[in-house]
Amino acid sequence: MDNNELIKKIETVLNNAKAEFNEKINEKNLDEVYKNYLGKNSFLNNISRSISEYEPEIRKIIGMSVNNAKIKIEEIYKNLKEQIKYENSSNDSYSKIDLSLPGVKITQFHKHPITAVLDETVEFFTSMGFEVVEGPEIETAYYNFDALNIPDNHPARDVWDTFYLKNGLIPRTHTSSVQVRTMETKKPPLRVIAPGRCYRYESVDATHLFMFNQVEGLFVDKNVKLSDLKGILEATVKHLLGAKKTRFRPAFYPFVEPGLDLDIECVFCGGKGCNVCKFTGWIEVIPCGMVHPKVFEYAGINPDIYKGFAFGMGFDRLVMLKYNVNDLRLLYSGNMDVLNQF
């Protein structure tokens, strides 16, 4: 049984327990149902005893799913016990409204993990003076490509697996398009981040979806240096992921020069090498670089006076790293047993 099937099996066991408790509400049958689902040799307890046999990256997910099912079954059992005690009591002193009975537990709602990490990211950058800006999700080719130094005949366009609409517009492939829109409407100095959804023609798997969330950052001023970029991004991954070891590698992106990739030490293996980091010990987190002069020219900013840096974070991937989630699809499944773990 693979991991997804196991999680679904745990969910099925919980639903079956709820159904049986609803049918058998006398005290004898209630205890029998309880032993079937939480007894010594029950399915859930067998999973708990064998939890150490699973891979470390999925152990947490399965363990929390089992514990969540146990807590819910225990809660239903205790409430039904009290209900039966109340209904069977012939003592007149036992009030029909017994204030000592436990009430219905109010579910404590929480943010979706993607929303929580986005809010944490926004709070971190606004504390450093960044402003949150937005742009349209349906873009023109000009803002999505041309104004970012990716003309129609540039081979880099092939890197962005793009959907094209019949009217020629594009579901944006990155929030970098907000860079130029912002520089056209606001005068430097600028410190902005642009969170939002992006779309690419991707094959769906554990680490890729056709829709994902990204945060683009832009810093423009007269004396901006590469060291400013490195300092801010190192502080960012330390704050969001607790990363202690980072490195910058040269990379090519048409809208920055020089271009870099920020890597962090693999959070799954501690830098020793594993399947997640492809046995390199490092995970790429943030593409970045100094804004290309051509991009400034498209936006009407003099590159001889102003300098800047830009970066883009796919924060769905940040959520995976932060919470050790091994399959991106779990975050979008709507499965409450998964989401309630966060």
Residue 92 has pLDDT above 70, yes or no: no
Average pLDDT, the chain: 85
Mean pLDDT in residue range 16-39: 78
Q: What is the pTM of this model?
A: 0.65
CATH number for the segment(s) 113-339:
3.30.930.10
Active site residue 108: no
**Buried residues in 185-207 as b, exposed as e (16+ CB within 10 A):** eeebebbbbbbbebbbeeeeeee
Active site residue 256: yes
Q: Which of 69, 214, 276, 338 is catalytic?
A: 214
pLDDT at 88: 67
Active site residue 282: no
Mean pLDDT in residue range 170-190: 92
Phi/psi at 318 (nearest 5 deg)?
-65, -40
Instruction: Give every CB contact of residue 289 below 8 A, 6+ residues apart in sequence.
Output: 229, 251, 253, 255, 256, 257, 258, 259, 260, 309, 310, 311
Residue 255 has pLDDT above 80, yes or no: yes
pLDDT at 124: 94
* DSSP codes of every residue in 2-41: -HHHHHHHHHHHHHHHHHHHHH--SHHHHHHHHHHHHSTT
The CA distance from 95 to 91, in Å, is 9
Mean pLDDT in residue range 16-44: 79
The CA distance from 63 to 10, in Å, is 11
Q: What is the dihedral of CA 245, 249, 251, 256, to 10 degrees?
A: 70
**Residue 82 counted as an annotated binding residue:** no
Question: Where residue 1 falls among pLDDT bands split at 50, 70, 90?
Answer: low
Active site residue 214: yes
Q: Which of 215, 256, 276, 319 is catalytic?
A: 256
Question: Where residue 78 falls among pLDDT bands split at 50, 70, 90?
Answer: confident
Mean pLDDT in residue range 40-60: 78
- Quick one: how far is CA 211 from the chain centroid? 13
Does the CA dihedral 62-64-70-72 come out positive or negative?
Answer: negative
Residue 25 has pLDDT above 70, yes or no: no
Q: Which of 156, 157, 160, 329 is catalytic?
A: 160
Q: Which of 180, 310, 319, 325 is catalytic?
A: 310
Active site residue 200: yes
In the chain, where are the structural domains located?
A: 3-88, 113-339
**What letter would DSSP give residue 297?**
H
Q: Which residue intervals of the chain are DSSP H helices?
A: 3-23, 27-38, 43-49, 56-88, 113-126, 141-144, 177-185, 226-241, 293-299, 315-323, 336-339
Q: Which of 13, 17, 147, 174 is catalytic?
A: 174
Q: Which of 181, 200, 292, 317 is catalytic?
A: 200
96-131: pLDDT as tens digits: 667 777 877 777 778 888 888 999 999 999 999 999
Mean pLDDT in residue range 72-82: 85
Does the CA dihedral 197-198-203-208 come out positive or negative?
Answer: negative
Active site residue 117: no
pLDDT at 162: 82
pLDDT at 26: 65
257-283: pLDDT as tens digits: 999 999 998 877 888 888 778 888 888
Phi/psi at 158 (nearest 5 deg)?
-70, -20
